[in-house]
């Protein structure tokens, strides 16, 4: 294609001028377009950097907020763990106190049962002894009455 242009340049001097003028205009348009593209690239780069910077600031803020939240949650977990351990310890102590109280009550009840059983046995023994004594006394009284009746019959028969 370069030979064809050289051929036309030699044949027509105006063509050379028009071609140079056209090339100059194309170069000028290319330069303007190139400068416009550089400006657009620089503007877009600047916007990208601003957006990137803004995004990084937002990320840092979110990270700070999340780290703060994590720290607060860890602190809450530690406090709750301490409360739970304290509550568990208190519950164990309460259970031990209640268990000891029940064991003491059981011992007292067992002791009372043993004492009442002994008293009941003693009472039964005393009743049986008193009953035996009553029976013995009644028997003696009956025997005395029988003797008295015999004596009185004998006397009554003798007096007739």
Compute the distance between CA of residue 112 and CA of residue 59 in angstroms, rounded to an integer. 77
Asked if 4 and 11 count as a contact pair (C-beta separation under 8 A), the reply is: no
**What's the rounded mean pLDDT across residues 104-132?**
94
pLDDT band at 79 (very low <50, low <70, confident <90, very high): very high
The number of folded domains in the chain is 1
Q: By mean pLDDT, which of 7-16, 50-59, 71-80, 100-109 is the weakest? A: 7-16
pLDDT on residue 9 = 67
pTM over 0.85: no
Domain span at residue 66 reads 2-159
């Amino acid at each position: 294609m370069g030979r064809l242009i050289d051929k036309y340049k030699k044949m027509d001097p105006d063509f050379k001028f028009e071609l140079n003028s056209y090339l100059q205009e194309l170069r000028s348009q290319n330069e303007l377009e190139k400068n416009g593209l550089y400006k657009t690239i620089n503007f877009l780069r600047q916007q990208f950097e601003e957006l990137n910077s803004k995004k990084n600031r937002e990320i840092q803020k979110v990270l700070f907020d999340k780290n703060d939240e994590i720290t607060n949650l860890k602190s809450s977990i530690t406090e709750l763990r301490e409360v739970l351990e304290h509550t568990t310890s208190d519950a164990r102590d309460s259970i031990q106190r209640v268990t000891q109280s029940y064991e003491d009550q059981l011992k007292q009840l067992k002791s009372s049962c043993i004492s009442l059983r002994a008293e009941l046995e003693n009472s039964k023994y005393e009743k049986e002894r008193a009953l035996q004594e009553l029976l013995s006394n009644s028997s003696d009284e009956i025997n005395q009455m029988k003797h008295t009746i015999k004596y009185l019959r004998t006397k009554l028969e003798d007096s007739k």
